[in-house]
Amino acid sequence: MATEKSTTRVELTKEGLVGTIRFRSETGVNIFSSRVIRELGELIEKLREDANLRFVVFRGDGKVFLAGADIAEMAGFREEEGRAFATTGHNVFNALAALPQISFAAINGHALGGGCELALACDFRIMVAGAKIGLPETTLGLIPGWGGTQRLPQIVGPARARRLIFSGQPVTAEEALQIGLVDEVVPTVDALDAALSKWFKYLEPGSPHAIERAKRALLHRDEISEFARCFTSPEAKEGITAFLEKRKAAWVRS
């Protein structure tokens, strides 16, 4: 968890089918403050509205991916400020989880507290060897407030989630891979780009509209409605026709 006032900047770039949100700080330690989480929410809204993007990547520059929330800011919180801080974070990370694009956390260094919770809201997590990930809030007399208590059990199971949350102890990238908390571990920061390219190629055959529907079904558990709505998109007709004609489907976003 961070102990200094956040100077972190949040930047959005787009290249081809990929949108990248990058966290940068003069200190090399990226920290969530109220300002940072609000700016992140604004950029996520811009990504949601861009039908040309198929993938979204969250990255951190410097020594860490994201070190967590701004403890200096939270030091003066009362209950009402805590509720507002948690509500904002929940809204932003719920919007992240609901992005129509496929999202990745490219974790270059430690992902703690809010940094871990951001990664949990992504569809996939790729992590550099030796980095650590976890939810240390209980060691400060707090609990995860941006969805960690809900998303972590869904990914690693209730028993492991309790152990990680109650102890506040992070795990290494290698341990995180073993328990399913991350999807791939790469040897160096420089290897993240190649890993991401491999994942993009692997996921590219899926229909963008179908993936968006599948994400909604996973989030809201309404598979029947989302399946039915697939037939409102020309991609369903294209996919079925391509299968019958024994050719590759050509996806065109509408």
Residue 252 falls inside a structural domain: no
Tell me: do 220 and 130 sit in the same domain. Answer: no
Amino acid at 71: I
**C-alpha distances in Å from residue 151, one per residue of 97, 107, 147:** 10, 18, 6
Tell me: do 157 and 214 sit in the same domain. Answer: no
CATH number at residue 119: 3.90.226.10
Tell me: do 32 and 153 sit in the same domain. Answer: yes
**C-alpha distances in Å from residue 41, one per residue of 30, 99, 163, 176:** 16, 12, 30, 27
Tell me: do 128 and 214 sit in the same domain. Answer: no
Residue 195 falls inside a structural domain: yes
Residue 142 structural domain: 9-203
Tell me: do 226 and 165 sit in the same domain. Answer: no
Tell me: do 145 and 24 sit in the same domain. Answer: yes
Per-residue pLDDT of the chain (254 residues; tens, 9 = 90+): 444 456 899 999 999 999 999 999 988 889 999 999 999 999 999 999 999 999 999 999 988 999 888 888 899 899 999 999 999 999 999 999 999 999 999 999 999 999 999 999 999 999 999 999 999 999 999 999 999 999 999 999 999 999 999 999 999 999 999 999 999 999 999 999 999 999 999 999 999 999 999 999 999 989 999 999 999 999 999 999 999 999 999 987 65
Residue 136 falls inside a structural domain: yes
Set 117, 212, 226, 235: catalytic member? 117
Question: Per DSSP, which regions of the chain are E strands?
Answer: 9-15, 18-24, 55-60, 64-66, 102-107, 110-112, 124-128, 132-134, 171-172, 184-186
Residue 26 falls inside a structural domain: yes
Residue 254 falls inside a structural domain: no
Active site residue 117: yes
Amino acid at 4: E
Residue 251 falls inside a structural domain: no
Active site residue 137: yes
Interatomic CA distance for residues 229 and 224, integer angstroms: 9
Interatomic CA distance for residues 43 and 41, integer angstroms: 5
Tell me: do 122 and 237 sit in the same domain. Answer: no
Tell me: do 172 and 80 sit in the same domain. Answer: yes
Tell me: do 117 and 166 sit in the same domain. Answer: yes
The DSSP result for 82-149, as a single string, is HHHHHHHHHHHHHHHHT-SSEEEEEE-SEEETHHHHHHHHSSEEEEETT-EEE--GGGGT----SSHH
Set 137, 212, 226, 235: catalytic member? 137
